[in-house]
Chains A and B, each alone.
Chain A
């Protein structure tokens, strides 16, 4: 019987899942995910997790609970640093510990530490240790690791081509050809900035991206932007410590300066620690660029569908009216 490894479809799922899945399946290990977020997952998570934690963490608890009886191992790596510069939010660093000590009846948790500041091959060593858990040979693991890296590269290039992570994953899985339709009815482009596990989770973001698309707006997220360019857009004296926050904030700086988007929406979760700073800094920056409207949307476990729709419609109307006003002023 092959071992089954569970990967919760939350947090790092939207960034690293294709790579992890390739790695495990190349080693002949079955990968089980918890799938799309559901209401019951959220309820379970809210019940089990600490009340003061942020929604994504509560949701992660929910995903883990729905997965725990279906798998032999849970894969919750301790991802510390992957780019040699910035680390992840403290909640991510303590994630395996929170799950292990906050929940009961858990299968064994694979909490390999991934920190590439520790040396040239530290990431490979992490994967090697992971493969060793399932007593696979070194060559075997190396092949799987290289294939996983290649997969990560393919995923990244799809994202840079303008796809969102869930679409890119679907393409990689089914081998479909890229069917990127730029249906752009009113020619507006909005940037939705925020952490991948909020923006691309249909349930917790109340389908924000989908709603915007339905309104005929092209949506770009921070995964679609060239990483090198946005890293250079940073104007802070001291950069953000946290990878996702650093990305989101730099993306905002980049987009404000380039001026090619018609509006920027910052999606943030209630009680998110890093975002309290990111959001304020974005807001302060947005005052210097009055031509690009900026809105911040906070989500939590009680966010209603209608409320978000109303805010999006109002924002869209405001942007359109502003455009028309600008145009008529030009013609005069």
Chain B
């Protein structure tokens, strides 16, 4: 049985683990990115490569040490660098003595034959296409449950009575979803998870701020790379609306563009009329929409040297002024510290509170 691994992006690894197991592969679960991962990544990656490349490099090295032979990842057609990650990672890995092979999945729409060939290569237990389709459907259901549960925590966390309850319940329900296997079990686990998170005792009258999160997909989705910014914000009494989830992104990029993406592109039109790769255009469009929907602020997350987000950031200045919405940007790299980020977030939250006339932390000290 070939030992297979894949990049870790939030909780989605639970789905891919199930999918790869079903296809008859042994899965090496990528460990949560930590200090050691980053050290490995920084040592072997190019200096100006973006944080996702470094974290993935570190993850691959760690999983290769655990015996992984095949790495499955996604490609892309540019102009963002991520489309070339697979090639570069493979060269670096082979150069430092890990003979791992990397299977890069390109968009099935533009490379259908290549896609099927790669699926076949991973299909160790020789399942029929119909059986594979069933597996993918179950995986999709699980992915949706995981995303829904996460969305729910964003709503509940800022209103919880006792700090930390939501996170505790969330960790627990993830295990429920993880253990579910058939499609009915998954649906049941998903509903139970939503109920459990909904049962966290909350203060319904608490005034919370609403903040939209835009930026690059990896640092948005992997909490270890953004230093759990959503949890920090939730604890500061801020409801987070993240512009991107793995399910939504997959739909946009494999089947067809959803109406939501269309409206985002329309909103970005006056500022940036064509796709510049990565999520630059989406960041701009989502910010405009958040401003229209009356959000209190927008936070942009991007890896250091991320090209599309730099373009977006330059334009966000103007949007912030025109639409009167505060925008805070974090360019994340291996040097970013959690304390520094928390301080900036606290200041940002105070700024938004004062703008909306809500009593902030500062108010209580002064008063």
Contact = CB atoms under 8 A, between A and B. Distances in A.
Interface of A: 49-50, 52-53, 57, 78, 80, 87-91, 93-94, 97-98, 101-102, 113, 236-238, 240-242, 270-277, 279-281, 284, 287
18 contacts: A50-B314, A52-B313, A91-B311, A93-B277, A94-B276, A94-B308, A97-B315, A241-B83, A273-B50, A273-B305, A274-B81, A276-B47, A276-B49, A276-B53, A276-B305, A277-B84, A277-B88, A287-B95
A242 B79 contact: yes
B78 A241 contact: yes
Given A49-B314, A281-B91, 11 more contacts: A94-B276, A97-B272, A97-B311, A102-B315, A113-B274, A237-B87, A241-B79, A271-B305, A272-B48, A280-B91, A284-B95
Contact of A98 (B50, B78, B274, B315): B315
A98 B284 CA distance: 12
Contact of B48 (A237, A238, A276): A276
A202 B117 CA distance: 50
Contact of B307 (A78, A91, A101): A91
A284 B46 CA distance: 11
B250 interface: no
B311 A90 contact: yes
Contacts of A281: 88, 91
Interface of B: 45-50, 53, 75, 77-81, 83-84, 86-88, 91-92, 95, 271-274, 276-278, 280, 304-308, 310-315, 317-319, 331
A271 B79 contact: no
Contacts of B80: 90
Contacts of A53: 310, 314
B81 A102 contact: no
Nearest to A48: B314
Question: Of residues A91, A273, A274, which shows the largest number of chain B Cβ atoms within 10 Å of its Cβ?
Answer: A273
A63 to B, nearest CB: 16
Contacts of B311: 90-91, 93-94, 97-98
A101 B318 contact: yes
A50 B78 CA distance: 23
A174 to B, nearest CB: 38
A273 B317 contact: no
B306 A273 contact: yes
Contacts of B312: 94
A275 B48 contact: yes
Nearest to B88: A277
Contacts of B50: 273, 276
The listed residue with most A CB atoms (<10 A of its CB), out of B81, B87, B280, B308, is: B81
A177 B45 CA distance: 48
Nearest to A285: B91
A162 B350 CA distance: 61
B111 to A, nearest CB: 11
Nearest to B309: A52
A186 B86 CA distance: 43
A284 B278 CA distance: 26
B276 A273 contact: no
Nearest to A102: B314
B101 to A, nearest CB: 12
A21 to B, nearest CB: 26
Contact of A90 (B75, B86, B280): B280
Nearest to A94: B311
Given A277-B84, A280-B88, A50 B79 contact: no
A265 to B, nearest CB: 17
Contact of B271 (A97, A277, A287): A97
A271 B87 CA distance: 21
Given A87-B78, A279-B46, A78 B310 contact: no
Contact of A52 (B83, B304, B318): B304
A101 B314 contact: yes
Contacts of A277: 46, 49, 81, 84, 88
B87 A87 contact: no
B281 to A, nearest CB: 9
A98 B311 CA distance: 6
Nearest to A57: B310
Contacts of A101: 271, 314-315, 317-319
B77 to A, nearest CB: 7
A57 B315 CA distance: 14
A24 B306 CA distance: 35
Contacts of A272: 48, 305
B79 A90 contact: yes
A87 B79 contact: yes
B145 to A, nearest CB: 34
A88 B276 CA distance: 10
A85 to B, nearest CB: 12
A113 B276 CA distance: 13
A276 B280 CA distance: 19
Contacts of A78: 274
A241 B84 contact: yes
Contacts of B304: 52
B298 to A, nearest CB: 16
Contacts of B53: 276
B307 A98 contact: no
Contacts of A280: 45-46, 49, 88, 91-92
Contacts of A271: 48, 305
Contacts of A236: 87
Given A277-B81, A284-B95, A93 B88 contact: no
B284 to A, nearest CB: 9
A270 B48 contact: yes
Given A241-B78, A276-B81, A90 B307 contact: yes
A113 B83 CA distance: 24
A276 B306 CA distance: 11
B81 A273 contact: yes
A276 B47 CA distance: 7
B313 to A, nearest CB: 6
Contacts of B77: 241
Nearest to B49: A276
A145 B261 CA distance: 38
Contacts of A97: 271-273, 311, 314-315
A89 B80 CA distance: 8
